[in-house]
Structure 1
Amino acid sequence: MTGPRIQTAPHLTDQQTAVLLAFARGQQPGKIATALGISVHTVRTYLRAIFVALNAENLANAVGIACALNLLDSDQILQGGPHAR
C-alpha cells in the first residue's frame, strides 16, 4: 500500500531560468544564445524543457506559472526588458 503522492514544486536549472527570464524580457532566441554562450538550438531545447517542467502550454503561460511559483519575479523581468533605460 502506498501513501498519498506528494507533489514537489517544479525546479528549473539556472540556465533554464536565465532563458525564461530573457524570453520574458522580450529577447529573441539568437540574442539569448549569444548572451549565454549557447546555441539557438540549446535555447529552444531549454524552452521545451521549461514547458514540460512547468506544465505550460506557451511562453506567456510559462512566465505566469514561474512568477506564481516565485521562480521569476516581475521586478527581474522589468529591469532588463528591451525598453529598459
Structure 2
Amino acid sequence: MSLQALEEKIVRLEKKLEKLEHDVAEHLREAVRGEDAPLEEKAPRVSWALVWFAYPIALILFTLGAAAGASYYWTH
C-alpha cells in the first residue's frame, strides 16, 4: 500500500470512530433519560410517593406487631 492509501484509510477510520463516539454518547444520554434510567431519574415524584405510602404502612404494621407481641408476653 502506498502512503496516500494508508492516509485515506486512517481518515476513514477516524470518521468511523467519531461516528461511534457520537452514537455511544447519544445512547448514554438516552439511557439516562429513557427507559434504562432508574425510577428516581424518570419520575422522582413517583418514588417519593412510594416512600410516603410505604413508611406509614410499615409503621402501623410494626406497632401492631409490637402490641401483639406484648399482649402475648403478658398473657402467657
* TM bucket normalised to smaller: under 0.3
What is the TM-score normalised by the length of structure 2? 0.24
What is the TM-score normalised by the length of structure 1? 0.22
Q: Quick check: which has more Rg, 1 or 2? A: 2
Higher percent of residues as helix: 2
